[in-house]
Amino acid sequence: MKQWIMQSHSVEETMEIAYQLGMKLVSGDCITLEGDLGAGKTHFTKGVAKALEIDTVVTSPTFTIIKEYAGSLSLYHMDVYRAGEEAYDLGLEEYFYGSGVTVVEWPQIIEDIIPRARFTCEIRKIDDQQREIIIGGIGLEYEKRIEELRK
């Protein structure tokens, strides 16, 4: 798996890194987001949303499980942390094969329905402001786009 490893020292830098990835997204793409609570997963998603020309305020879907946003591509933002096993009854897999981009927080909960080929993102909290952001690509197409980001 190819990786792009970046350091972020602020929320704005995290959003800028996500924006750069967002500019490479196409219909049907999936990004899985991993990181502790408060690591910056929703801020990362806000950066992706900006790249997709979404003007609506992006908030965490923690209690709604999924939020949909319209832009140059639709954005489906999932947080399955609280869904548990019930996530399998919600028809979430339909979003992965739709015409938008899907961002999944806490993907390990629904790992077996997430597309194998995808972008992965791990946000590691170093301190209150600093983060290490590791973006990977699983599958040849995604690995090629990671290489483009690294240039």
pLDDT tens, per residue, the chain with 151 residues? 789 999 999 999 999 999 999 999 999 999 999 998 889 999 999 999 999 999 999 988 777 888 999 999 999 999 887 776 677 778 888 888 888 999 999 899 888 889 999 999 999 999 988 999 999 999 999 999 999 888 7
C-alpha span between 33 and 17 (Å, rounded): 13
CATH of the domain at 64: 3.40.50.300
Strand order in the sheet with 101-105: 2-8, 131-138, 118-125, 30-34, 101-105, 75-79, 66-69
Q: Rounded CA gap, 133 and 66, in Å?
A: 23
Give the dihedral of Cα atoms 34, 101, 77, 86; nearest 10 deg. -80
pTM over 0.85: yes
Range of the domain at 72: 2-150
User: How many domains in the chain?
Assistant: 1
Instruction: Report the chain's terminal Cα–Cα distance, integer Å.
Output: 17
